[in-house]
């Protein structure tokens, strides 16, 4: 299916290949196309797993994962202020939320409505069925604060273009607009923040690696938001370089220019 989408239907193929070529200028055309085809294959795996998710419970999901850094979640929740979870479009990000919910973690996910209402209802239903609380992005601020005060994990997908209101940080050598929400929420609520990286391994299992967002605060909001965002974006780039076929290159990550416009 991935090969058909990439070679035949070609939805967003041009965007995918252009971004890969700029991110990996040292790679040959053949290598770039291999990465591109792999991205479409990963999306098809995600779709297949989402279909299965409707019938799965924790007992089916848990064996698919290996978890590293779980103590960062436990230590964070132990402070009673919730944990801001900075996640990315890698591996199967939807399945990872279900995995954490299945382990018993109270998790709220900040999500944007999908343009197709049928798919939107399906995804929302699946998220709720496995124990995730869905917070819509248009009401995210107050709902996220309430969730943290209830000592929950609040998850953001933080690797897509945030437009002119975002904070610009380097990503593959180019300024990229990233959302301010995770940083502002973490500092406003004095809640610890962690990064979560999900990658499919050679044996077919997923590895979930949890790392703290650590930086020296200056108590200057703009500088602190920028530094917070740089920390996780730099680490994300390292993961994407290691697993280029597992990130969502179909999204126009550099759509918004730091000098204005798109």
- Provide the 3-class DSSP secondary structure of residue 135: strand
Min mean pLDDT across 17-21, 83-87, 256-260 is at 256-260
Nearest Cα neighbor of 208 from 193, 222, 198, 194 is 198
Q: Which residues contact 32 (CB under 8 A, 6 or more apart)?
A: 17, 20, 21, 24
Give per-residue pLDDT as tens, 100-137.
999 999 999 998 777 777 666 777 777 777 778 999 88
Residue 262: inside a domain: no
For residue 197 the two structure tokens come to: 């990286």
Any domain includes 39: no
> Which H or E element spans position 186?
helix 181-188
Please give the pLDDT value at position 53.
Answer: 80
Q: Is residue 14 part of a domain?
A: no
Structure confidence at residue 261 as a pLDDT band (50, 70, 90):
low
Check: CB of residue 16 under 8 Å from CB of residue 250. Answer: yes
Q: Residue 204's domain spans which residues?
A: 58-242
Determine the pLDDT at residue 56.
81
According to the model, what pLDDT value does residue 47 have?
87
Q: Is residue 254 part of a domain?
A: no
Other CB atoms within a 10 A radius of the CB of residue 111 amount to: 20
Number of structural domains (the chain) is 1
* Domain membership flag for residue 248: no
Q: Is residue 16 part of a domain?
A: no
Could you tell me if residue 117 is inside a domain?
yes
Q: Is the confidence at residue 225, as pLDDT, over 90?
A: yes
| Look-up of token digits 């969502």 | 248
CATH of the domain at 66: 3.40.1130.10
The band of 50, judged by pLDDT with boundaries at 50, 70 and 90, is confident
pLDDT in tens, 133-192: 999 888 889 999 999 999 999 999 999 999 999 999 999 999 999 999 999 999 999 999
pLDDT given for residue 8 in this prediction: 78
**CA-to-CA separations, 50 to 46, 55, 93, 238, in angstroms, rounded:** 6, 10, 10, 27
């Amino acid at each position: 299916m991935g090969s058909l989408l990439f070679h035949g239907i070609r939805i967003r193929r041009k965007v995918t290949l252009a971004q890969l070529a700029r991110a990996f200028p040292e790679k040959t055309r053949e290598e770039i196309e291999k990465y591109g085809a792999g991205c479409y294959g990963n999306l098809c795996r995600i779709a297949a797993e989402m279909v299965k998710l409707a019938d799965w419970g924790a007992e089916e999901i848990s064996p698919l994962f290996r978890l590293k850094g779980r103590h960062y979640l436990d230590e964070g929740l132990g402070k009673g202020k919730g944990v801001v979870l900075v996640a990315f479009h890698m591996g199967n990000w939807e399945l990872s939320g279900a995995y954490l919910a299945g382990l018993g973690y109270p998790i709220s996910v900040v999500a944007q409505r999908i343009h197709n209402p049928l798919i939107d209802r399906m995804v929302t239903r699946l998220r709720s069925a496995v124990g995730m609380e869905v917070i819509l992005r248009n009401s995210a601020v107050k709902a996220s604060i309430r969730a943290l005060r209830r000592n929950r994990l609040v998850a953001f997908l933080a690797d897509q273009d945030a437009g002119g209101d975002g904070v610009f940080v380097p990503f593959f050598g180019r300024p990229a607009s990233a959302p301010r929400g995770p940083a502002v929420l973490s500092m406003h609520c004095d809640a610890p923040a962690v990064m979560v990286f999900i990658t499919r391994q050679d044996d077919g299992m997923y590895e979930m690696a949890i790392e703290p967002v650590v930086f020296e605060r200056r108590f200057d909001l703009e500088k602190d938001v920028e530094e917070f965002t740089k920390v996780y974006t730099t680490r994300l780039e390292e993961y994407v370089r290691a697993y280029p076929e597992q990130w969502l290159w179909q999204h126009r990550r550099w759509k918004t220019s730091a000098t204005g416009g798109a």
